[in-house]
Amino acid sequence: MPYRLKTWLLPLLAAMTLPSLAQAHAILEESTPPAGASVKPGPLDLHLRYNSRIDRSRSRLTLIRPDHTRDTVAIAPDGPPDVIDAHLQLPPGAYVVRWQVLAVDGHITRGDVPITVTAP
């Protein structure tokens, strides 16, 4: 794809369909750990349950670190159709897990789960 098309057109088109959070179609019904929770450092199993069937292979989890750097988090390939599982290893600090899911009806929704990892 030409450079201009990729850097210009795709983000523009992307912007055109993402709904604002206040009007989300798929909603996060349950999060473990819950949004705003404080957890101990070390391995962390993240479990997100939605109100819709989710297309996991076309969804994305992004970890925003305390220094605002970002990493893509691998989504577990198996599980119930409405659930996204992931495994994290986090040192102390304030993190945000940003999720973007594709419901199987084609609606794309995104949201944040802030998590604080406390010092041991």
Give me the residues that bind another protein (CB under 8 A), please.
9-20, 22-27, 29, 51-53, 55, 57-60, 81-82, 100, 102-108
CB-nearer residue toward another protein: 43 or 69: 69
Minimum CB distance to another protein, residue 59 (Å): 7
**Tokens 């992307």 belong to which residue?**
14
Contacts of 68 (CB under 8 A, 6+ apart): none
Q: How far apart are CA 23 and CA 18, in angstroms?
A: 10
What minimum distance in Å lies between the beta carbon of 49 and another protein? 10
By beta-carbon proximity to another protein, the closer residue of 106 and 120 is 106
Cα–Cα distance for residue pair 30/55, rounded to 1 Å: 17
